[in-house]
Amino acid sequence: MNVLTWHHIGFIGIFSLLGILRTAYKLRNKVPLLGAKGQEPVFLRILRMGLGLGMVWIMVEYFYFRQGFGLVEMPAFLRVTGILVGVLCLILLNQVHRDLGTHFSTTLEIKGDPGLVTTGTYRWMRHPMYTVYFLLMISGTLISGHGMFGFFSVGIILSLMILRLGYEETMLSQTYGKEWHDYCGRTGRFTPFRALLWNGQNPEKFEES
C-alpha cells in the first residue's frame, strides 16, 4: 500500500463523514442500519445490492492497490472541485435530514409526524436528497479519478431516481391526494427551477406555502 495522497485523504474524509451522518440520522429515527423491505420491488433491492458491492470493491481497489480499470489521472483542479462540492453536499444533506425530520426512511413507507413535508429544502424540490446524493457521487468520482466508482455509485442513485421514484410518488399521491398534486404543480423533482418560476408568478402564494 502506497502513502495516501491529499485526494485520498479528501475522499476518505468526505465519505467517512457521510457514513457518520447517515448512521446518526438512522439511529435518531430508529431506521434499521441495514435497511428493510418496505414496499419496494425485490428486483430494485437486488440491483442496488449488486451496484453497492461493486462500489465497495472499487473503493478497496482505490485505497489499497492504486490501480485498476477506470482509474485515470485527474487534474488537480477537478479533484479540488470534487472536494468542495462534496463538502457542500454534506452540509446540504444534513439540512435535508433536518427538514425531513421523523419522516426519514430508507424504504418506501410513510412514517413520522402527519402531513407532507413542503418546507426548507423541500420547498424548492420534491426530492432534494436524491439530488444531493447524485452530486455527492459525482464529486467522489472527480476526487478519485475512478470511472468505475462513478459507474457503480451514480448507478445506485440513478436506480432510485429512475426506477424507484414512480413507486414512491404513487405512494405519496395515494396518501396525500390533492395536497401532493398541488405540491407537484409548484415544484420540480430534482431541481429548483419550477419553484423559482412559480414563485415569480405567485409571490403571495409562495410566501404562504
pLDDT at 136: 97
pLDDT at 204: 57
> Can you tell me whether residue 138 is helix, strand or coil?
helix
Give how far the C-alpha of residue 145 lies from the chain's centroid of Cα atoms, to the nearest Å: 20
The answer to whether domain 6-208 has CATH 3.40.50.300 is no
- Provide CB contacts within 8 A for 196, sequence distance 6+: 124
Residue 51's CB is within 10 A of a number of other CB atoms, namely 19
pLDDT at 203: 58
Residue range 13-40: mean pLDDT, rounded: 82
pTM exceeds 0.85: yes
Digit-coded pLDDT (tens) for 168-188: 999 999 999 999 999 999 999
Least confident of 36-40, 122-126, 179-183, 187-191: 36-40
Of residues 99, 92, 89, 93, the one with CA closest to residue 119: 99
Q: How far apart are CA 157 and CA 20, in angstroms?
A: 19
Domains of the chain: which residue ranges? 6-208
> Can you tell me whether residue 113 is helix, strand or coil?
coil
Residue type, 123: R
Digit-coded pLDDT (tens) for 73-104: 889 999 999 999 999 999 999 999 999 988 88
pLDDT at 1 over 50: no
